[in-house]
A and B are shown apart, each in its own frame.
Chain A
Amino acid sequence: KAGVTQTPRYLIKTRGQQVTLSCSPISGHRSVSWYQQTPGQGLQFLFEYFSETQRNKGNFPGRFSGRQFSNSRSEMNVSTLELGDSALYLCASSLVKTGDEQYFGPGTRLTVT
């Protein structure tokens, strides 16, 4: 089976712009979670989607949003980018909702200048 894929892998944006990141889960996985990873804060949970419904949301501002499509693919959007949004954004999929065994994609490295 193919693993979790994320596009794009690298992205450079300027402050104030918006960005959309994409994640394709492992075939058959219906749960997709998003995380932000930074050297200072580590891995922080953004949100989880299961069957097109957002189940959980982390402590991030409303500028961070996401959605899931009927084929389980997911996108996350960050509007009005700030310098502090520079991070590695990781997507993980699991077979069941809030699965304990999560499979991570390679991440999208976002740099905001």
Chain B
Amino acid sequence: GQSLEQPSEVTAVEGAIVQINCTYQTSGFYGLSWYQQHDGGAPTFLSYNALDGLEETGRFSSFLSRSDSYGYLLLQELQMKDSASYFCAVRLGGSQGNLIFGKGTKLSVKP
């Protein structure tokens, strides 16, 4: 089966850097995505890695290593508004193609 593992909670202070890891067990997928969801809100797309390596979008960066079945989201210069849940997701290959989400990591940013 397919599964993605993320830490359930992470706490960091304002201005710091935090890395949220995502390890997966899935046979064949197109790419790794990251979504942010604030309490009571809808998930919003952050980044997508189709290839191995680092993708940078402002304060957020995402990394994928297919050989290690591993990816991460890096958040720099943390702000209070970054307190939210972060989900990794993979788009399955083959005849499926649907998105499978991790259970999410709740990030708490402290002053």
- Asked whether, in the complex, the Cβ of B104 is within 8 Å of the Cβ of A55, the reply is no
Q: Within residues 37 to 57 of chain A, which ones have a CB less than 8 A from any CB in chain B?
A: 42-45, 48, 55-56
| Residue in contact with A56 in the complex, picked from B30, B33, B96, B103, CB distance below 8 Å | B96
Known pairs A45-B99, A98-B91. 6 more at Cβ < 8 A? A44-B101, A58-B98, A98-B98, A103-B45, A104-B35, A106-B41
Beyond A42-B104, A100-B48, A101-B48, is A56–B43 a contact (Cβ under 8 Å)?
no
Chain B residues near A97 (CB-CB < 8 A): 97
| CA distance in complex: A44, B103 (Å) | 9
Say yes or no: B31 contacts A100, CB within 8 Å.
yes
Question: What residues of chain A lie closer than 8 Å to B100, measured between beta carbons?
Answer: 45
Q: Is B102 close to A, CB under 8 A?
A: yes
Leading 9 A-B pairs by shortest Cβ distance: A43-B101, A104-B42, A98-B97, A56-B98, A42-B103, A45-B98, A100-B48, A104-B43, A101-B45
Give the A interface residue count (CB, 8 A). Answer: 23
Cβ of B103: which chain A residues have Cβ within 8 Å of it? 42
Q: Which residues of A contact B (CB under 8 A)?
A: 4, 33, 35, 42-45, 48, 55-56, 58, 90, 92, 97-98, 100-107
Most buried by A among B42, B48, B101: B42
Of B30, B43, B103, chain A has the most CB atoms within 10 Å of the CB of: B43
The answer for the CA separation of A58 and B96 in the assembled complex, in Å, is 9
Which chain A positions have C-beta within 8 A of B30? 100
User: Which of chain B's residues 58-100 have a Cβ closer than 8 Å to chain A?
Assistant: 87, 89, 91, 96-100
Task: List the B side residues contacting A44 at CB < 8 Å.
Answer: 101
CA distance A45 to B91 in the complex (A): 11
CB distance from A3 to the nearest CB of B (A): 9
**Which of A55, A100, A104 has a CB less than 8 Å from the CB of B44?**
A104
With the chains together, A64 CA to B46 CA distance in Å? 29
